[in-house]
Structure 1
């Protein structure tokens, strides 16, 4: 059973959730169940500065409240801090508890992704433990490269530093963040097994019962799954994210009509009208009776100020599909 934990390493509930998941997995009811725990990236504070600042400054910034709510949506930031401290002590996280820095987590997520890619789930879990311990218990700045160097070494993943320095993991983390969004992950942590998700750092017995129910996920070809995720992002009004996930498909399956149409929609929605027009002109040439492609081409030409060129396409689309009138 693969257990995915979508979480940010600066979300205190993620660290608490890790302890609770470990307790759930130690339950006799799960004896003999093969388990692989994989950490996936989530960002609760994507506007964190590249240079870390003392955590007290963050708590004085009202703009941060919305970000912190993604770690504990049912509590105010002040209530969350108090509750977290109490529960962290109950879970044996301490004796000192509390982050000292508002730190950007991008490189930490890269290190986690690279640990999984190169050394597997157990090594990745060791890195996750060390990153969160450094942040919440030792008060270290996990955005600092020297701190990450030490964390990688402590977790037995010394090669990770060279990989970070070479820029590895950038595309992986970007795509995973978009994949999580496409799959509907909206809270840190969220545990996913197959097609089922459990949001929040639930008690160990709740996690145990969730795991015992398992979760099946229909296996789809990778390119079909990627296309569906891109479409989900477009439906969520993230056309640029959709184009990021579409990039490999455009490179490898650029003649596929579904890929081209989704790309055209994303180009149009993100106001990349030249690319939208080129793509749609090709689609209309290949299938003159595709009323939607023709309608979207007409709208693209309209937005480019080419009213006369747009008119025939819009008229034909309306004749074929009255809803486009």
Structure 2
């Protein structure tokens, strides 16, 4: 089974959804047969790398609410994160552009380190309050995940993997993805949003069962003349 996950590293529900999926997978009896691949997505491609606004002020502006209302909304999200074992530090969070972070993730995927880099990027932004567009921050995360620092530096400097990021974002657009996280199972089933763990469990069981019961090819007609083992049917 293959699960493709479109998400962005500054999306709180993407991190929560990631953990809930992981919890569902931890008790799934066929976990070793499940591949999870994270796909690139930018909530705001035009976001600045640095801003003087706090995350509360940005949310308030975006949704036309007061800063106090934004704080209450973020506090609620923080409680949901705590329930799944995550710590979100909204007061010191550094809103930023995630294009370079997505490029780094594409590089990590090629090197077999995608899961490690994705987790470190989420943790760096939500828990450590690091600016994940900062070149040195990205290099530290890459090195900590086991990637070659100098090679990662070259990747960031020469714009490599930009095409891959745009390609995966284009696929998301074709699928009609308007919000993340967005999970696609076996290119056939979709789950939108950070659903409860039980929803993920049920989806895993459903897809696994259906895939085991169905042939890789769906027959449209049977009973025609065939040749097998050197013998042909003759009437």
When the two structures are superposed, what TM-score results if normalisation uses the length of structure 2?
A: 0.78
- Relative distance call for 1:147 and 1:209 in structure 2 (3 A) is same
CA distance in structure 1 between the aligned counterparts of 2:206 and 2:70, rounded to whole angstroms = 33
The structure that has the greater radius of gyration is 1
The partner residue of 2:81 within 88, 94, 108 is: 88
Residue pairs, 1:173-322, within 5 angstroms: 173-193=165-185, 194-214=187-207
CA distance in structure 2 between the aligned counterparts of 1:52 and 1:196, rounded to whole angstroms = 38
Cα offsets for 1:175-195 (capped at 9, x unmatched): 111110111111110111122
Does structure 1 residue 135 correspond to structure 2 residue 121?
A: no
What residue is the counterpart of 1:114 in the other structure? 107
Unaligned runs of 5+ in 1: 67-75, 220-325
Cα offsets for 1:117-161 (capped at 9, x unmatched): x223xx111101100101000011001111001111111123333
| Pairwise CA distance, 1:101 | 1.1
**Aligned residues of 1:52 and 1:104 also touching (Cα < 8 A):** no
Which structure has the higher relative contact order (CA within 8 Å, separation 6+)?
A: 2
- Relative distance call for 1:148 and 1:52 in structure 2 (3 A) is farther
| Pairwise CA distance, 1:20 | 0.6
When the two structures are superposed, what TM-score results if normalisation uses the length of structure 1?
A: 0.57
- Relative distance call for 1:80 and 1:213 in structure 2 (3 A) is farther
Give the paired residue count: 202
**Aligned residues of 1:16 and 1:88 also touching (Cα < 8 A):** yes
Of Structure 1 and Structure 2, the greater helix share is in: 1
Residue pairs, 1:71-86, within 5 angstroms: 80-86=73-79
**Aligned residues of 2:60 and 2:70 also touching (Cα < 8 A):** no
Does structure 1 residue 101 correspond to structure 2 residue 94?
A: yes
- Relative distance call for 1:188 and 1:53 in structure 2 (3 A) is farther
CA RMSD of aligned residues (A): 2.3
What residue is the counterpart of 1:30 in the other structure? 29
